[in-house]
């Protein structure tokens, strides 16, 4: 059956609180990120992602303190992202306890950052997040939390990211984000076929069948979601049990 598929709750953090929106806007609060992270770890999540979605310079100390608290409470790997522009940012977050860092806008602006992180810390530390929207011109990559379009296209940028040494790609479909109608299956499958590194599916989870489709049809290595977990719509133990019934290998944790 190959490697186990990973289930990854994502916590968008703004001013120290977890928030969740729809299509990257209309944010609502979802709770304390450290408490949520511990609950997901205890429930059997495979990994966690924490994103500082308003990573202004002033907010970095607050976020770094949160990373330290998360590291003390969870026993699974976690990735942090937001405002990572140089190696000193990576070093600060890894020192605080993170296992991986996620880069997005900074990598689009200066792709050499991926090479530098991989060379200094190893490819396994570098997750490249790609926010893309589909329109008449295909999949276009966006900067600044989905606010600013670029001239980069999803597939060619993903291939470059892999060549530069990223360990995995976190692909979020902005069209699907928060809508709960399913992941961008066709784009995921194409990314899988083109890339030599794992792909994490993000944007669109609304029910357990959507995770199944991301793995079986989209060929994703992991699936990330936020609101369905934060607001209790899907339980991680129940999701993993369902996926195993569908013939999808998942890691089983003793959550007692």
d(CA 227, CA 218): 21
d(CA 155, CA 239): 30
List 12, 89, 177, 213, catalytic entry? 12
Neighbouring residues of 49: CB distance < 8 A, sequence distance ≥ 6: 8, 9, 10, 11, 78, 79, 80, 81, 102, 170, 224
Residue 233 token pair: 């719509």
To the query of whether residue 12 is one of the catalytic residues in this protein, the response is yes
Give me the half-sphere count of Cα atoms (radius 13 Å) on the Cβ side of residue 209: 1
List 131, 177, 213, 221, catalytic entry? 131
3-state SS, residue 221: coil
Would you please indicate which residues are annotated as catalytic (active-site) residues?
12, 131
């Amino acid at each position: 059956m190959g490697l186990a598929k990973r289930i990854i709750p994502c916590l968008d953090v703004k001013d120290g609180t977890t928030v969740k929106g729809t299509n990257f806007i209309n944010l609502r609060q979802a709770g304390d990120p450290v408490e949520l992270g511990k609950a997901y770890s205890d429930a059997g999540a495979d990994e966690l992602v924490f994103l500082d979605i308003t990573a202004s310079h002033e907010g970095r100390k607050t976020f770094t303190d949160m990373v330290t608290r998360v590291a003390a409470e969870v026993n699974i790997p976690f990735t942090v992202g937001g405002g990572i522009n140089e190696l000193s940012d990576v070093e600060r977050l890894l020192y605080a306890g993170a296992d991986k860092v996620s880069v997005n806008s900074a990598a689009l602006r200066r792709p050499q950052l991926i090479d530098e992180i991989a060379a200094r810390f190893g490819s396994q530390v570098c997750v490249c997040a790609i926010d893309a929207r589909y329109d008449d011109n295909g999949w276009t990559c966006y900067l600044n939390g989905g606010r600013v379009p670029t001239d980069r296209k999803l597939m060619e940028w993903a291939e470059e990211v892999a060549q530069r040494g990223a360990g995995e790609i976190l692909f979020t479909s902005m069209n699907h984000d928060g809508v709960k109608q399913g992941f961008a299956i066709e784009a995921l499958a194409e990314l899988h076929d083109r890339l030599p590194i794992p792909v994490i599916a993000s944007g669109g989870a609304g029910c357990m069948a959507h995770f199944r489709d991301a793995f079986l049809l989209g060929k994703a290595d992991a699936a990330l979601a936020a609101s369905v977990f934060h607001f209790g719509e899907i339980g991680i133990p129940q999701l993993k049990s369902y996926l195993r019934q569908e013939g999808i290998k998942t890691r089983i944790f003793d959550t007692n």
